[in-house]
Amino acid sequence: MKLKKWLGLGVLALAAGVFLTACGQNDSKNTLTVGVMTMTDSDEKRWDKIQELLEKDNIKLKFKQFTDYSQPNKALKNGDIDINAFQHYNFLNNWNKENKADLVTIAETYISPIHLFSGTEAGKAKYTKVSQLPEGAQIAVPNDATNESRALFVLQAAGLIKLNVSGDALATKANITSNPKNLDIKEVDASQTARALSSADAAIVNNSYAVPAKIDYKTSLYEEKVDDSSKQWINVIAGQKDWKKSDKAAAIKKLVKAYHTDAVKKVIKETSDDIDQPVW
């Protein structure tokens, strides 16, 4: 009897151990560590909605926030996080080249279109549409290579200039082949583009500077469209090259499915005041 009793207890203990191990493995597979930059209120609300949608699949999200743009991809490459969501195609492609890495895009999320804002006079917009820009109008654009290129493609899309390069190449003023209005395109530090609105006829200002400068988006003369030239600025969820073979693959796919819902789209548009535009 005693032998049977101990054998029974041994079987139960073994079963409990197997059960706990299985639960531990399952918890590990269903927990995703996501690398992000310091989150804004809009970021927090969209991720809260995604976590809510994933509850039925028992998937939990953990976030590792970074303050340096060079860190999230390093953490992903080293396996410290499972995926990251902070960058656009252009940044990811350049980072891979510079670091001899092979991180990949798992899914597209949204684009934060940049705007051509009207210059101001006495605090009010000078113009209400692109066609009103005069001959020789001064247009301020960021002077760093990446943002200047993006700005020039926006000016092209707005019908103001023509370039001899495609959207996947970096454009400079030297690539302008047509400038019917003889625009005076002035290169300034990206952080100064918002301030330039008081002296220029118009300026291309990144959202990261337009929002804190409290620029009225109603003074936008043109908003960057999602097309072949702007695809490189679409934000993405990135992962390791072989993420589909990892034990987190199923959870990652469910996260993408949850992200790509109308519910999340609504949260993004409402909480960002329509600055961020979902692209799926």
Residues in the chain: 280
Asked whether the beta carbons of 141 and 221 are under 8 A apart, the reply is no
Report the C-alpha gap between 91 and 279 in whole angstroms. 18
Other C-beta atoms closer than 10 Å to the C-beta of 104 total 15
Report the C-alpha gap between 106 and 84 in whole angstroms. 10
Output the CA angle 203-236-192, nearest 5 degrees.
Answer: 20
Q: Which CATH architecture has domain 32-112+232-278?
A: 3-Layer(aba) Sandwich (3.40)
Is there a shared CATH topology between the 32-112+232-278 domain and the 115-229 domain?
yes
C-alpha torsion 266→270→276→280, nearest 10: 10
Q: Are strands 162-163 and 176-178 parallel, antiparallel or unpaired?
A: antiparallel
Query: Residue ranges of the domains in the chain?
Result: 32-112+232-278, 115-229
Domain 115-229: state its class. alpha beta
C-alpha closest to that of 82 among 112, 99, 106: 106
Report the C-alpha gap between 180 and 160 in whole angstroms. 7
Read off the pTM.
Answer: 0.79
For residue 1, what pLDDT is reported?
45
Asked whether the beta carbons of 232 and 167 are under 8 A apart, the reply is yes
For residue 240, what pLDDT is reported?
98
- pLDDT in tens for each of the 280 residues of the chain? 444 444 455 555 555 555 455 555 567 899 999 999 999 899 999 999 999 999 999 999 999 999 888 899 999 999 999 999 999 999 999 999 999 999 999 999 999 999 999 999 998 999 999 999 999 999 999 998 889 999 999 999 999 999 999 877 889 999 999 999 999 999 999 999 999 999 999 999 998 899 889 999 999 999 998 888 888 899 999 999 999 999 999 999 999 999 999 999 999 999 998 889 999 9
Residues 6+ apart with CB under 8 A from 53: 258, 261, 263, 264
C-alpha closest to that of 110 among 40, 209, 53, 61: 40
Q: What is the DSSP letter of 166?
A: -
Q: Angle of helix 249-259 relative to helix 41-54, nearest 10 degrees?
A: 120
